[in-house]
Amino acid sequence: MNGSVTISPMMQMTVSKMSGDMRFVGIFYIIMGALYCLSIIGALVGIPLIICGLRLREAADSFTSYLGSNDSGILERAFERQGSFFFIQKVLLIISLILIVLYVIFLIAFGAAIFSAFGGNYSY
């Protein structure tokens, strides 16, 4: 086996369109990451976004290369890069959900403290 896989014209068209979409989203992530990096705190979010964008663009390039060569090694590299993108996104999503939960807990605690501070001082 020479490591090549034949793909149908429909799959070639789908992979080509998907690669274009991946490039667009990758550029968007890179730009958004760069904008986040304009602040020091934002760099904590911006740097992973830039890395995500780069991985997605690398995956798109690998998929495009695969269309020209039909080499299964290139296809594996494309999936590996795409998997790296999704792993980083998963980590960012989990961190975001944790921060949202902590924020809601903080708001509830702050609201309860304000309510108890002002709630007991009313006299009629």
| Domains of the chain by residue range | 9-92
Give the pLDDT band of residue 69 (cuts 50, 70, 90).
confident
Condensed to tens digits (0 to 9), the pLDDT of residues 5-57 reads 677 889 889 989 999 999 999 999 999 999 999 999 999 999 999 999 999 99
pTM: 0.78
Does 78 score more than 80 pLDDT? yes
Q: So what's the pLDDT on residue 68?
A: 86
| Neighbouring C-alpha atoms within 13 Å toward the C-beta of 103 | 6
Give exposure, 41-59, as e/b (b: 16+ Cβ within 10 Å).
eeeebbebbbbbbbbbbbb
Could you tell me the pLDDT band of residue 115, with boundaries at 50, 70 and 90? confident
